[in-house]
Amino acid sequence: MSRSIFITTLACVFVTLLATPLQGLLDKANIVMLFLLTVLLVAVKLGRVPAIFASMLSVLLFDVFFVPPRFSLAVSDLQYLVTFAVMLVTGLITAHLASGLKQRAQEALQREQQTQALYRFAGQLAGALTLQQVDELSRVFINEQTGVGSVLLLPAAGQESSLEPVSTTAEFAVEPRLTGQVLRTGQRIHSDQVGRLGYASLYLPLSAPIRVRGVLAIGSDSAEGKEVPVNHGLLDAIAALIAVAVERLHYVQVARNSEISLLGERLRSSILSALSHDLRTPLTALMGLSDSLQLIKPPLPPVALETAQTVHAQAKRLSDVVGNLLDMARLNAGDVHLRKEWQPLEEVIGSSIKLLDSALREHPVRVSLPADLPLLSFDAVLMERVFCNLLENAAKYSAGGRAIEISAHADSEVVVVEVADRGQGLPVTLPREALFEMFQRGETETGIPGVGLGLAICKAIVQAHAGTICAADRDGEGSVFRFTLPIGQPPAIEGED
């Protein structure tokens, strides 16, 4: 400062010395101009305070050396007072404007440097492959730019609402309630009170395009004691950059996970289909070969034929069990690709009855569906399995000649389907829900074949269609299995013109 005052003084003295020999040639007004020029130059070069000093010194020097009587502060002609006043005011205004200009230029320069630093930072973040790298980069950068410490807090794995610091190198603690609030509201929080207690004093949300990804806590490292710059646009910009980087890493992770699960699913499904082929081929051969023994000429003795029939029946039974197990494995593996189509319920009921055919020979099936039942969206092949399993059960557990009844009705959002029999009813020893568990048999000691997968398969299929299934005792005798299917928005059928 003293150096610039010295330079200013020198400049003013120089102008005085320069102007003195020219007194006779130059008008007084032009000498004033020379002084004003000096003030302007000082303001531009040295700033506000030297410029104010220069304008005052100029007025003094002009008065002493140029205004008669010379070498005294006295003024003979009073109009020079106006000159002094104008000179002083002009000088001061010049000083103010010029130095303001200089300050803004400096600020612009600083901003540009910051912007460039942010660019570099953004570039570094773009290359970051892990959250640890993001944390490291941002900690270093924030410290470089503002001299304060920072902690990056992100949701813990699997938990969206509880935040954890990525690393714990900061010298201050983080207030968990404030971070939670910032995460919820997406608004920054600043509190010097908390800061004085050894916590971070500024909490910035990491607002990414999709959602708030975490919190950036800023606090001064107590050793250096540097003030936390509260209203610093730079910190907000840094937080935004970190947020985008964190979100990018999040989606990279999501993409990688879904790729892994896709691979897993593909593997599961190829194992299942290989297994299915390897199990079914010998069973098909076994069934066919035992069947074809009956065609041999000359015919086998009756005992041998009977054996062949038993082999065939057992192979069929085994094949059904294998089929059920594979279906259950498929449904359990989450490998259910529903081929949903809008269709009337009546059709799938008809095809199920036709498919069972011989199993239902002793049980008449009565179907009563209201004519205005809406079309439903379901996978016909799977729904056929549901009906087949329910009908098969009804037939298995009721005496010959007893009818099985299928009915359905719309009930606000869903269609309720019922398969009712006049059989032996539900087992008293089991809770109703347990019937639908895997490998659960109604009566464990009976000779009725099955492994207890039929109802579990029904449940899995109905649930895959966003429906529910339950069993109940029927008034009088027998049991009723009831399941629902959502109605949804059936497509319109254009009439014929």
Residues that bind another protein (CB under 8 A): 273, 276-277, 280-285, 287-289, 291-292, 294-297, 312, 315-316, 319, 323, 327, 330, 339, 341-344, 346-351, 353-355, 365, 367, 369, 375, 379-381, 384, 490-491, 493, 496
Nearest distance in Å: CB 338, another protein = 12
Comparison of 90 and 319: residue with beta carbon closer to another protein: 319
For the CB of residue 294, give the shortest distance to another protein in the complex, in Å: 8
Cβ at position 329, least distance to another protein in Å: 12
CB of 332 to another protein, least distance (A): 15
Q: Residue 195: which of 210, 163, 217 has the closest Cα?
A: 217
DSSP string, 241-298: HHHHHHHHHHHHHHHHHHHHHHHHHHHHHHHHHHHHHHHHHHHHHHHHHHHHGGG-SS
- Return the number of the residue (247 or 421) whose C-beta is nearest another protein: 421
Chain length of the chain: 497
Report whether 143 contacts 130 (CB < 8 A).
no
Task: Tell me whether residue 3 or residue 339 sits nearer to another protein (CB atom).
Answer: 339
Residue 279 to residues 70, 93, 287, 328, 336, Cα–Cα distance (Å): 124, 99, 13, 15, 21
Q: Least distance from C-beta 489 to another protein, angstroms?
A: 12
Nearer to another protein, 171 or 341 (CB): 341
For 345, the token pair is 């319920």
Angstrom distances, CA of residue 403 to CA of 59, 121, 220, 356, 414:
122, 78, 83, 15, 26
* Min separation Cβ 293 and another protein, Å: 9
In the bound complex, what is the minimum distance in angstroms from residue 314's beta carbon to another protein?
13
> Cα dist. 144→137, 139, 470 in Å?
11, 9, 66
Give whichever of 380 and 438 is closer to another protein, judged by the CB atom.
380
DSSP of 35-48:
HHHHHHHHHHHH-H
Nearer to another protein, 234 or 326 (CB): 326
Return all residues near 198 (Cβ < 8 A) that are at least 6 apart.
172, 173, 222
Query: Do the beta carbons of residue 446 and residue 383 sit within 8 Å?
Result: no
**Minimum CB–partner distance for residue 237 and another protein (Å):** 51
- What the block records as the tokens of 369 is 């569906």
Least Å from the CB of residue 382 to another protein = 9
Residue 369 or 472 with smaller CB distance to another protein: 369
Residue 199 CA to residue 142 CA, distance in Å, equals: 17
Q: Determine the Cα–Cα distance for residues 38 and 203; give it in Å rounded to an integer.
A: 50
Burial-class residue 368 by CB neighbours within 10 Å (0-12, 13-18, 19+).
exposed
Closer residue to another protein (CB): 312 or 459? 312
Smallest distance, another protein to C-beta of residue 342, A: 4
CB nearer another protein, residue 384 or residue 421: 384
Nearest to 320 by CA among 411, 450, 430, 466: 450
CB 141, CB 218: distance < 8 Å:
no
Choose between 92 and 336: whose C-beta lies nearer to another protein.
Answer: 336
In sequence order, the 6+-apart residues with CB closer than 8 A to the CB of 287 are 312, 315, 316, 319
